[in-house]
Structure 1
Amino acid sequence: MRILITGANGQLGRELTKQYRNENVELILTDVDNLDITKVDEVFNIMIEKRPDVVINCAAHTAVDKCEEDVENAYRINTIGPKNLAAAAFAIGAEIVQVSTDYVFDGEGNAPLTEFDRTNPQTVYGETKLQGEELVKSLNPRHYVVRTAWLYGDGNNFVKTMIKLGESGNEVKVVSDQVGSPTSTVDLANVIRDLIKNKNYGTFHATCKGMCSWFDFAQEIFRLKNMDVKLVPCTTEEFPRPAKRPKYSVLRNYSLELTTGDITRDWKESLKEYLATL
């Protein structure tokens, strides 16, 4: 099998590369330096030349606050890019994985969100990612739309930021009124590989099991690292940001439960494994 990965230098791209290198898979690794997914001619040219069986789109404009002012680029990367990839993949008979986000919801509820709940993005980032989902689904029936949240892996992320702040010796303030499910790239990559293996097309949520606030997440990081840090809870209002943060973004992996099974782990188990690798 031949797999093309976009955004291969990102956290998820690196984990997928690591996992697939242990299998009999030919990888075509791309990032912005050698493939501009917003340019339809570049996308079609590489598809025709390399003829992958599967395209995994990990490329995205993920700077949530910057998207609010950089609207045009957000649409180019998060909406037009997936459109180009889906159309080109369809033209050569390839499948496509589109990685998406909890930001497609409004974050106003108090029950885990399933794939069948109504979307209602409140930010440019969420809207552009949702439009990217819709175009992928409409242009290529062999699609896997995979929504995740609170992702960490090989790269800059919340876990590493907390450790750095904790080592500074200063008081650390963390938001305590936003709830979600911290998710390791290891678990997300496992789900993506399993979907492809089973040709389980459709829209899926893929986060680690369980839920916590950002404050709880930080507390567990410091506990597992045996770090004595003065951790102070604060509200979202104390940290105003250009893009609205969802207060409740717990995703239930319902479509996985109903089909091939949910293979993700509890978030604390995955975090413990991740910290052991740092």
Structure 2
Amino acid sequence: MRVLVTGSQGQVGQCLVKNLLAKNITTRALDRTQLDITSPQAITQVMDEFKPNIVINAAAYTAVDKAETDSELAYLINRDGAKYLAQAASEVGAALLHISTDYVFSGARNGEYQETDIPAPQGVYGASKLAGELAIQESCARHIILRTAWVFGEYGNNFVKTMLRLGVERSALNIVADQWGGPTYAGDIASALINIAESINTNESVEFGIYHFSGLPYVSWFDFASHIFDAAVDQNVLAQRPELTAITSEMYPTPAIRPANSKLSVQKIKKHFDIDASNWQQALNYLNKYCH
């Protein structure tokens, strides 16, 4: 198996590279300075040189609020970059594994979102990611689109790291309590993608298409913060937990609307690939890794 990873310096990208190399899988990992995915010529050159049979696209424009005023760049990376990678993968006979997001949904429904539910993004970020999904579906038959939510891990910026930093700086915090989802450990996303890649590589009968992967149990941001601070105190990462106050989304306005419901059903990925939901509580057992 020869795996090309784009966006190798991102939260999931770094986990992917670490896990692939640990398995001695032939890997070429490129960050944004090494491969501009908005350049078809650059992509073609890399594909021709490396000849991957699996391409994992972990590159994305993920600045949700900034995207509202920077839509051109968001679409360039999330739609056009995804399309160019899909076209190039198809040309060399590689399968494309691509990370997408809960933001393709409005968040207005009750219960879990299924892969078959109709997307209705509420902002530029979600709309640009949906456009990327559609471009991949049109350009590369052998694709897996993995929608995930509330990603956190050792690398990059994320909610867990922000909470740990604020927990040192402040004695009290207001946390949104009316948005619900499944926190997802970046290392678990990487493992899921590698498991899928190995299934494809061994010529198993793989059903290509869209899959959801996130953590269980579902919680609100307020609940998630509470778990983080309990774990931080237990592990002596923080001396004491700050006082938390539950607030509504209206009390914490942001340029981009966040989905109130980001609960993604993970039944399909379990059925087809025997991949379990991300165990985010277990991932909080090693919080000292997040403090750098």
| TM-score, scaled relative to structure 2 | 0.92
Contact 1:208–1:266 (Cα < 8 Å) also in 2: yes
Contiguous gaps of at least 5 residues in structure 1:
none
Deviates more, 1:71-80 or 1:248-257: 248-257
Contact 1:177–1:247 (Cα < 8 Å) also in 2: yes
Is 1:102 aligned to residue 102 of structure 2?
A: yes
Question: 1: CA distance between counterparts of 2:270 and 2:62?
Answer: 28
Query: Superposition pairs for residues 69-80 of structure 1, below 5 Å?
Result: 69-80=69-80
Contact 1:203–1:255 (Cα < 8 Å) also in 2: no
Contact 2:56–2:97 (Cα < 8 Å) also in 1: yes
Question: 1: CA distance between counterparts of 2:111 and 2:142?
Answer: 30
Identify the residue that residue 266 of structure 2 maps to in structure 1.
Answer: 253
Question: 2: CA distance between counterparts of 1:169 and 1:158?
Answer: 16
Question: 2: CA distance between counterparts of 1:23 and 1:10?
Answer: 20
Question: 1: CA distance between counterparts of 2:71 and 2:289?
Answer: 37
Report SS of the residue matched to 2:156.
Answer: coil
Report SS of the residue matched to 2:162.
Answer: helix
Identify the residue that residue 150 of structure 1 maps to in structure 2.
Answer: 150
Identify the residue that residue 237 of structure 2 maps to in structure 1.
Answer: none
Contact 2:185–2:278 (Cα < 8 Å) also in 1: no
**2:230 corresponds to which letter in structure 1?**
R
The RMSD of aligned alpha carbons is: 1.2
Report SS of the residue matched to 2:273.
Answer: coil
Is 1:275 aligned to residue 287 of structure 2?
A: yes
Question: 1: CA distance between counterparts of 2:169 and 2:36?
Answer: 39
Is 1:167 aligned to residue 191 of structure 2?
A: no
**2:62 corresponds to which letter in structure 1?**
T
Is 1:244 aligned to residue 257 of structure 2?
A: yes
Is 1:187 aligned to residue 188 of structure 2?
A: yes
Question: 2: CA distance between counterparts of 1:206 and 1:38?
Answer: 26
- Structure 1 runs (4+) greater than 4 angstroms displaced: none
Contact 2:213–2:278 (Cα < 8 Å) also in 1: no
Question: 2: CA distance between counterparts of 1:235 and 1:39?
Answer: 42
Deviations 1:92-137 (CA, angstroms, capped at 9, x unpaired): 1111111000000000012011111111111111111011011111
Question: 2: CA distance between counterparts of 1:186 and 1:71?
Answer: 29
Question: 1: CA distance between counterparts of 2:139 and 2:243?
Answer: 51
**2:92 corresponds to which letter in structure 1?**
I
Contact 1:187–1:208 (Cα < 8 Å) also in 2: no
Offset, 1:265: 3.9
Report SS of the residue matched to 1:259.
Answer: helix
| TM-score, scaled relative to structure 1 | 0.96
Deviations 1:27-54 (CA, angstroms, capped at 9, x unpaired): 1111111111011111111111111111
Identify the residue that residue 115 of structure 2 maps to in structure 1.
Answer: 115
Offset, 1:191: 1.0
Offset, 1:193: 1.0
Deviations 1:181-206 (CA, angstroms, capped at 9, x unpaired): 11001211111111111123221101
Identify the residue that residue 231 of structure 1 maps to in structure 2.
Answer: 244
Question: 1: CA distance between counterparts of 2:103 and 2:278?
Answer: 22
Offset, 1:236: 0.5
Identify the residue that residue 88 of structure 2 maps to in structure 1.
Answer: 88
Identify the residue that residue 38 of structure 2 maps to in structure 1.
Answer: 38
Q: How many residues align?
A: 277
Question: 1: CA distance between counterparts of 2:54 and 2:114?
Answer: 26
Task: Identify which of 211, 225, 231 aligns with 1:204.
Answer: 211
Contact 2:212–2:265 (Cα < 8 Å) also in 1: yes
Percent identity, aligned pairs only, is 40
Question: 1: CA distance between counterparts of 2:158 and 2:83?
Answer: 28
Report SS of the residue matched to 1:55.
Answer: strand
Question: 1: CA distance between counterparts of 2:91 and 2:102?
Answer: 29
Question: 2: CA distance between counterparts of 1:53 and 1:5?
Answer: 11
